[in-house]
């Protein structure tokens, strides 16, 4: 019997994502001026207020208030009508030095013997369902909000949009797990106030269905375009009004959208958040490493779908173990346990090796903090960072290195493909 599967996404203006972006902007600035920085930074945002808290060990000094304000303004919270804007909000910092009890388990005389920054298990997932090896429902939910943000910034075809928004996509699958059609799409977008609520809701619905969705569909491959039929059920701003939003409408916290950040409910999630953590925290670095493994396994033809788990103990160099589940999609006679053993041979999962392999000590994290950490194109960009003394630093940074298919040949060789 056919079944339905749903994933959601939230925009860069969603309060939890505002918090994530501030935390990751701080990470990037610390790493830009001191690659060995150890940072765990949490952010809370609410009406007119930002609270920064966490632990830092670094040789650089930053104006954390300015970084927070610049991030908020970049997102689009620049008007007092929003009851939260980068120029006027209060920014309180309670960041202090990292605990020596934690640091002693991570730093070693030899970089290669760096211990894991925490215990826990991390998961990576990949599927042939899309060109970027991501679950389709989540990929579409992200694309809807990315395009909505483009329309907001263009301010031409739709002129009333505010930064906060959410999307959700429900897909019907066949018994053999093949997408058949899109069953429902939910879009809730913050907007300027209208004189008449009924006219407002009708216009927003028409603009989403007739302007936003066609722009999204036009950028998709043909096989995915065919899933968009006239039978889709649309729920546009279901409450009828969404003027009060962002941190004024709902308090935001770092790390509260971890399923949006990963696979939309497909596969699994270890439980640890990513944003605000430097790569010594395996919650982040090992989650990226397992995605890298999963994507290269599927691309190499080892399987059509795979979940990879790795686990660590704080301060211990080697992982506790690697688990692989191919969901029965491996086309040759090899057990998941045998595949996991080969994965252990191909990929060095010591924390320092992960950092080096994926270049994680570079200021690459701000871009991850909205629209998902996985499935994004790996590209090199130029970024400029400033210190309070006026010194600027411009660096070329490779983004989303864990999305590269640079191990496909090694995987094929190891599996005889």
Annotated binding site for L-methionine: 55, 98, 250, 281
Q: Identify which of 2, 8, 4, 3 has the alpha carbon closest to the alpha carbon of residue 265.
A: 8
CA 162 to chain centroid: 21
Separation of alpha carbons 333 and 354, rounded Å: 30
Q: How far from 125 is each of 129, 205, 235, CA to CA, in Å?
A: 12, 34, 29
Q: Identify which of 212, 219, 145, 166 has the alpha carbon closest to the alpha carbon of residue 203.
A: 212
Task: Report whether 141 contacts 216 (CB < 8 A).
Answer: no
Query: DSSP assignment, residue 121?
Result: E
b/e burial code for range 374-389 (CB count within 10 A of at least 16 → b): bbbeeeeeebebbeee
Please state the residue numbers annotated as binding site for ATP.
14, 164-166, 241-242, 250, 256-257, 273, 277
Three-state DSSP class for 134? coil
Separation of alpha carbons 233 and 154, rounded Å: 27
- Residue 184 is encoded by which pair of tokens? 């429902």
Q: For residue 45, how many other CB atoms are within 10 A of its CB?
A: 29
Please state the residue numbers annotated as binding site for Mg(2+).
16
β-pair partners for 39 = 56
Please state the residue numbers annotated as binding site for K(+).
42
Please state the residue numbers annotated as binding site.
14, 16, 42, 55, 98, 164-166, 241-242, 250, 256-257, 273, 277, 281
Q: How far from 322 is each of 197, 259, 310, 343, CA to CA, in Å?
A: 54, 21, 5, 8
Separation of alpha carbons 127 and 295, rounded Å: 8
Separation of alpha carbons 271 and 167, rounded Å: 22
Helix ranges restricted to H, 187-269: 197-207, 213-218, 222-225, 246-249, 258-261
Separation of alpha carbons 334 and 301, rounded Å: 13
């Amino acid at each position: 019997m056919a079944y339905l599967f749903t994933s959601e996404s939230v925009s860069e203006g969603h309060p939890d994502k505002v918090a994530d972006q501030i935390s990751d902007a701080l990470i990037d600035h610390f790493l830009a001026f001191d690659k060995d920085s150890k940072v765990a930074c949490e952010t809370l945002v609410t009406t007119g207020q930002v609270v920064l808290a966490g632990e830092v060990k670094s040789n650089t000094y930053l104006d954390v208030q300015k970084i927070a304000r610049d991030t908020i303004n970049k997102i689009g919270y620049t008007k007092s009508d929003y009851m939260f804007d980068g120029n006027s909000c209060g920014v309180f910092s309670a960041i202090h030095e990292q605990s020596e009890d934690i640091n002693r388990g991570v730093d070693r005389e030899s970089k290669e013997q760096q211990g894991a920054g925490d215990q826990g298990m991390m998961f990576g997932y990949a599927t042939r369902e899309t060109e970027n090896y991501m679950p389709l429902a989540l990929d579409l939910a992200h694309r809807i909000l990315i395009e909505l943000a483009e329309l907001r910034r263009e301010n031409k075809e739709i002129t009333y949009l505010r930064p906060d928004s959410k999307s959700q996509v429900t897909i019907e699958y066949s018994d053999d797990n093949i997408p058949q059609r899109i069953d429902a799409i939910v879009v809730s977008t913050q907007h300027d106030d209208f004189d008449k609520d009924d006219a407002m809701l009708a216009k927003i619905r028409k603009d989403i269905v007739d302007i936003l969705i066609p722009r999204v569909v036009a950028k998709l491959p043909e096989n995915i375009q065919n899933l968009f039929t006239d039978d889709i059920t649309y729920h546009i701003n279901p409450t009828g009004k969404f003027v009060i939003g962002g941190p004024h409408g709902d308090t935001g916290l770092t790390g509260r959208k971890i399923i949006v950040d990963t696979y939309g409910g497909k596969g699994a999630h270890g439980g640890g958040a990513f944003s605000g953590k430097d790569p010594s925290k395996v919650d982040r670095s090992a989650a990226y490493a397992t995605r890298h493994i999963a994507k290269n396994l599927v691309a190499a033809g080892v399987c059509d779908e795979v979940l990879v788990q790795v686990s660590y103990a704080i301060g211990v160099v080697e992982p506790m173990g690697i688990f692989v589940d191919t969901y029965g999609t491996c086309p040759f006679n090899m057990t998941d346990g045998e595949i996991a053993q080969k994965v252990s041979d191909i990929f060095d999962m010591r924390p320092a090796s992960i950092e080096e392999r994926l270049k994680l000590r570079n200021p690459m994290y701000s871009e991850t903090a909205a629209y998902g950490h996985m499935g994004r194109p790996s590209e090199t960009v130029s970024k400029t960072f400033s210190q309070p003394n006026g010194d600027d630093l411009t660096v070329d940074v490779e983004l989303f290195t864990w999305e590269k298919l640079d191990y496909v040949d090694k995987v094929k060789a190891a599996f005889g493909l």
